Structures are given as structure tokens and as C-alpha cells.
Amino acid sequence: MAESYDVVVIGAGPGGYVAALRAAQLGFKTACIDNFKNAAGKPSLGGTCLNVGCIPSKALLESSENFERVLHKFGAHGISVKEAAIDVPTMIARKQKIVDQFTGGIAGLFRKNKVASVHGTGVFASAGDGYTIEVRDGAKSQSLQAKNVIVATGSVPRALPFAPFDGELVLDNAGALALESTPKRLGVIGAGVIGLEMGSVWRRLGSEVTVLEALPGFLQAADEAIAKEALKVFTKDLGLVVHTGVQVTSVEKRSSFVSVAYEGGGKSQRLDVDCLIVAVGRGPNTQGLGAEQVGLKVDGRGFIEVDADCRTNLPNVYAVGDVVRGPMLAHKAMEEGVAVAERIAGQAAHVNLDHVPWVIYTSPEIAWVGRTEQSLREAGVKYRSGQFPFMANGRARALGEPTGFVKMLADADTDRILGVHIIGPFASELISEAVVAMEFDASSEDIARIVHAHPSLSEVMHEAALAVDKRTLHI
């Protein structure tokens, strides 16, 4: 006899585990099914984000930045370090320890909130009075009965058809986070978020990194001024070699290196590297879910179709996170998970996808929320723009991080903030003020009139708001 639940969540990434926790908090009998196994072959909760995404990448970024500081930045403070060296296996072990602590933490949170944690692949078996979900784990199988189902099966890396991942020479995100030594020559296909974050890590540890990007421009999703500054910093200061507008035509694995052929600058070119990271985007993960078994609608690209409230075409079946439309970001997945659990409880919850912040954890960091200048121009929206550099901020200078700026865009008539774009130190933290302001429909003048602590990086946000009205004080 199948155990019955009010809510069964499929997937324990940030969308799924948060949905399960919130559903349990609201008094629902809840189970969460997840099939992820770590490199040691053990079930590990937390999905892509905790196991092979957000958390491990930030751990490696921090390690590599510390190494960079020792090599190139400590001298200015009068600190000298003789024979600085990085032990990559220690760095990787530290990353794994952080991951294990957090994935184990999810298991603890499930116990605390009485969420039944079930390991295996959840498959829709039948629909009738509720849904039967079969959980398959190797030869074992069990069934759960659910009144409500939340699908949070996440995403998987896209492979190029001619370059399948092999975990050694051609790497996806998991492989890029597990390298045990610094490759002398590293190739990256895709100058997106993963390409830039992972490229930065290994460049700082000494790799010669070449990034091949298909689009003609660099970081086209970002505001054009930010993208321009980022390209300058990443190529001139960090030393990434970036080729945009290229078409990769083949990837050939040799005994100990990879040969990449591509068309770029009007001619055929070749890049030989010791290993290659392919980071050309991710696709929704609905394989093996049994969507067709119950008539769950999936679009042409494999995303589960949902409305603005994450409802699918089936009654009492919801989907959240990377497996549905919208940005593939952990915080977006989590908020959708909370909103869906609350909606099942009859509450009115909503996630505003227009104000989801983006962060790229390079150095300097890049963060934004809302509209870019180019999108406002294209849409014919009248706006005013204010920009202020970190160079003129005392805290940034004291930190030795003067690169970058904050740019604020506000409606020309109403002064309502339409977008905020940051490249600079702790952009990931600074962007929160802009998100709060935009959620409360603030104007640039509101930010200009709020007291900001001195000396702090937040003063750059303050000055950018003043700059919208052409009245900066410190420049």
C-alpha cells in the first residue's frame, strides 16, 4: 500500500527542498524525492546548487581570489610572502567539505521539519484521485500517493553534439569544479556565467585560459556599460583571452589534450588545450519523469509549461525552478518553491520575475536588477541615467578594490527606478538595496535622500542615485 502525502516534491534542489520545508511548516504531510548522488556514490540533497553549482563554485572563487591577493595585492599593504603556492587538492577538499556540510544540513532540516526524504527517481505513474509517484532506485521501487505534486527537477548542462562530456578532457560544471591540478592551457566554450566564473578560478591559479563565445558581443544579457567594463578588466587585468563571434566546428580528443577547431575573424582557427570546459547553457531536466504518462505539458524545449503562479496544466501539479520558464537561478527557484507551498495552503503568494537579481561572482563582481539601458532605448522608454565609480569611494580604496561603478536608470517622467547595474566589490551584497527599492517602487530621489553609512560601499549606490539628478557630491 502506497504511503499517502499531502505534498510530494520531486527534486531536492533549492526549488524542491525549500518547497518541501515550507509545505511542512504549513502543516502538510510532505515527502521530497531526489536522485542525486555525489562523486562518492552517496545520495546528497541540495541539487545542482549545493552539489555542483552555486556553493562549490563560490568556494573555489574565494580560494583562487585569496591566492591572487597573496601574489598580486598583499605587496601594496607591505605584506610579503615568500614562495606562495597553491595546493589544488587541498582547495578541492575544502570545497567538498563545505558542500558536504550544507547537503548534510538539508537532511537535518528535513528531519527537523518532518519531511520524509526519499532517495530515487520520481516518476509519474498514474493520475486519478491524486497522483501515484513511483520512486525507482536501482532494482528497488516504491510508490507514494500525493494530493499535490511539486516538480522541481532542475536542469542539466547542454553538451555540444560533437563534444560529449567525459569528466577528464571535456568537462561540464561538475568536472570544472573537481579538477585536481591546474591545467596549463584551459579552453572554455561559452562566455556566460559559468565560463567566466570557472575561467576566473583557473586563470588565477595559473592556467592560460581562452574563452570562445558564439555571440558577436560580450555578456549581452548585461547592461552594455557593465559588459564593456567587464571585458576590459577580464582581458587586461585578469588575462583571460576572449574571442567572440566564433563558431566552434569540432572538438577532437587526443591522448592528453583537446584540439578545438573554430571559425573566427573570417578564418579557420585551432586551439589546443589540456582540458576544455563546455558551458553553453543548461536545459530543463524532465527526462524519465513520466510527464507523458499523466499528460503533463512540456514545451518544445523541454520546459514544463506553467502559468505565472507555477501551475501546470494538471490540477494540483506545480513546477518550479530551472525546469520552468524564467532565469535559472537558485533564489528564483527557492521563492517559487515557497510561493507554491503557500498557494497550496490557500494563501496568495507571488514571485516578481521582473525584480530577480543577477550576480556573476567574478572579480570584480557583477550584479544587476531590472532593465538594461539598451533594452529601455530599444523600447523607446525615456529614462535618466546616473553613474558613480568605486574609485571615488573611501571604503573601496581602503579595500584596494577601486574598479567599477554603479549605474542607476530611472524613468524620465516619474523618476521610478527601472534598473540598477553594478560592477565592483561586493556587488552581490550591494544589489539588495536596489531590489528592495524597486519592489517598493522607489524613485532615484528616495535612494538619494536615504542616509548611507560612511565609509561604506553603499555610498556608491547613494551617489549613483544623486548622479541621476546630476548632483553627485564626491566627484
Q: Which of 23, 47, 312, 423 binds ligand FAD (CB under 6 A)?
A: 47
Q: Could you say which residues in the range 118-137 bind ligand FAD, by CB under 6 A?
A: 121-122
> CB 364 → ligand FAD: shortest distance, Å?
15
Q: Is 240 in the site for ligand NAD (CB under 6 A)?
A: no
Q: Which of 71, 214, 345, 392 binds ligand NAD (CB under 6 A)?
A: 214
User: Which DSSP helix (H) or strand (E) runs through 409?
Assistant: strand 405-411
| DSSP secondary structure code for residue 439 in this structure | H
Measured CA to CA, the distance from residue 158 to residue 156 in angstroms comes to 6
Contact predicate 285/156, CB 8 Å = yes
> CB 201 → ligand FAD: shortest distance, Å?
10
> CB 269 → ligand NAD: shortest distance, Å?
13
Q: Which of 118, 163, 359, 468 binds ligand NAD (CB under 6 A)?
A: 359
Based on CB atoms, which residue is closest to ligand FAD, 207 or 285?
Answer: 285
> CB 189 → ligand NAD: shortest distance, Å?
5
Q: In a 3-state reduction of DSSP, which class is residue 42?
A: coil
What nine digits make up the cell of 269? Answer: 582557427
Contact predicate 455/405, CB 8 Å = no
Contact predicate 19/310, CB 8 Å = no
Q: How far is CA 163 from the centre of its chain?
A: 23
Q: Could you say which residues in the range 175-214 bind ligand FAD, by CB under 6 A?
A: 194
Q: What is the size of the binding site for ligand FAD (CB under 6 A)? A: 37
* Beta-carbon contacts of residue 163 (< 8 Å; ≥ 6 apart): 170, 189, 248, 251, 276, 278
> CB 383 → ligand NAD: shortest distance, Å?
26
Considering the candidates 355, 454, 462, 474, report the single residue annotated as catalytic.
454
Based on CB atoms, which residue is closest to ligand NAD, 67 or 262?
Answer: 262
Which of ligand FAD, ligand NAD, none sits in contact with 121, Cβ below 5 to 8 A by type? ligand FAD
The alpha carbons of the chain give a radius of gyration, in whole angstroms, of 24
Starting from the edge strand earliest in sequence, which strands make up the sheet with 247-253, in order? 247-253, 258-264, 267-273
Q: Which of 215, 241, 356, 392 binds ligand NAD (CB under 6 A)?
A: 215
Measured CA to CA, the distance from residue 99 to residue 115 in angstroms comes to 21
Q: Is 115 in the site for ligand NAD (CB under 6 A)?
A: no
> CB 203 → ligand NAD: shortest distance, Å?
16
Q: Is 365 in the site for ligand FAD (CB under 6 A)?
A: no
Q: Is 32 in the site for ligand FAD (CB under 6 A)?
A: no
Q: Is 213 in the site for ligand NAD (CB under 6 A)?
A: yes
Q: Is 154 in the site for ligand FAD (CB under 6 A)?
A: yes
Which window, 13-21, 232-240, 356-364, 455-463, contacts ligand NAD (CB under 6 A)?
Answer: 356-364
Q: Is 281 in the site for ligand NAD (CB under 6 A)?
A: yes
Work out the number of other CB atoms within 10 angstroms of the CB of residue 407.
Answer: 24
Q: Which of 75, 167, 239, 288 binds ligand FAD (CB under 6 A)?
A: 288
Please confirm, yes or no, whether 454 is among the known catalytic residues.
Answer: yes
Q: Is 24 in the site for ligand FAD (CB under 6 A)?
A: no
Peptide bond into 402 cis (omega under 30): no
What nine digits make up the cell of 216? Answer: 558577436
Measured CA to CA, the distance from residue 345 to residue 348 in angstroms comes to 9
Q: In a 3-state reduction of DSSP, which class is residue 200?
A: helix
Contact predicate 188/362, CB 8 Å = no
Contact predicate 248/189, CB 8 Å = yes
Q: Please name the residue that has the C-alpha cell 582557427.
A: 269
Q: Which of 16, 183, 404, 419 binds ligand FAD (CB under 6 A)?
A: 16
Question: What are the DSSP calls for 336-391, one per residue?
Answer: HHHHHHHHHTT------GGG--EEE-SSSEEEEEE--HHHHHHHT--EEEEEEEGG
Nearest one of 69, 38, 41 to 56, comparing CA atoms? 38
Q: Is 304 in the site for ligand FAD (CB under 6 A)?
A: no
Q: Which of 57, 63, 207, 458 binds ligand FAD (CB under 6 A)?
A: 57
> CB 404 → ligand NAD: shortest distance, Å?
17
Give residues in contact with ligand NAD (CB under 6 A).
Answer: 160, 189-195, 197, 212-215, 248, 279-282, 327-329, 359-361
Give residues in contact with ligand FAD (CB under 6 A).
Answer: 10-16, 33-36, 47-49, 53-54, 57, 121-122, 152-155, 173, 194, 285, 288-289, 321-323, 328-331, 333, 361
- Catalytic sites, residue numbers: 454
